[in-house]
């Protein structure tokens, strides 16, 4: 029973992190496009938890515990494919959902933090 809860908690980590990061990006980087916020939230939420098994595989290979190079390649291929699947199936939909709900709630996107005005001279000195 405890093992099942641990597995479900580990699986729930990906969407929870993606939703939280999506909310944070929505609040702190409103000048980014919605696609950029969703993509970065899903990518970070997937890569951060998967770094531990990736580093464990690399340390095991460095200590000689994996055997030959074929075992290392298969292990890396398995962990990278699991990372891609977890990102696409677990993290991306929750990041998209949170961003979509926040955009609908806010209505229009907030104005950019820096507005480009044609009347302001450029920093290069070529202007009015």
Arithmetic mean of pLDDT, 1-25: 91
Of 25-39, 54-68, 97-111, highest mean pLDDT: 25-39
Q: What's residue 62's pLDDT?
A: 85
Arithmetic mean of pLDDT, 79-103: 92
* Distance (Å) of CA 89 to CA 19, 51, 70, 93, 125: 13, 18, 28, 7, 50
Is the confidence at residue 98, as pLDDT, over 60? yes
**Element at 46 (helix H, strand E):** helix 34-62
Q: What's residue 122's pLDDT?
A: 60
Q: What's residue 121's pLDDT?
A: 57
């Amino acid at each position: 029973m405890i093992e099942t809860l641990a597995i479900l908690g580990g699986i729930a980590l990906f969407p929870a992190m993606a939703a939280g990061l999506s909310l944070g990006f929505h609040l702190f980087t409103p000048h980014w496009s919605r696609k950029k916020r969703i993509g970065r939230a899903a990518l970070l939420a997937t890569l951060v938890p998967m770094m531990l098994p990736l580093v464990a595989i690399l340390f095991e290979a460095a200590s000689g515990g994996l055997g030959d190079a074929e075992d290392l390649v298969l292990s890396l291929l398995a962990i990278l494919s699991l990372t891609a699947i977890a990102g696409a199936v677990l993290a991306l939909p929750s990041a998209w959902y949170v961003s979509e709900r926040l955009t609908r709630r806010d209505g229009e996107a907030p104005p950019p933090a820096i507005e480009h005005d044609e009347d302001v001279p450029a920093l290069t000195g070529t202007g009015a």
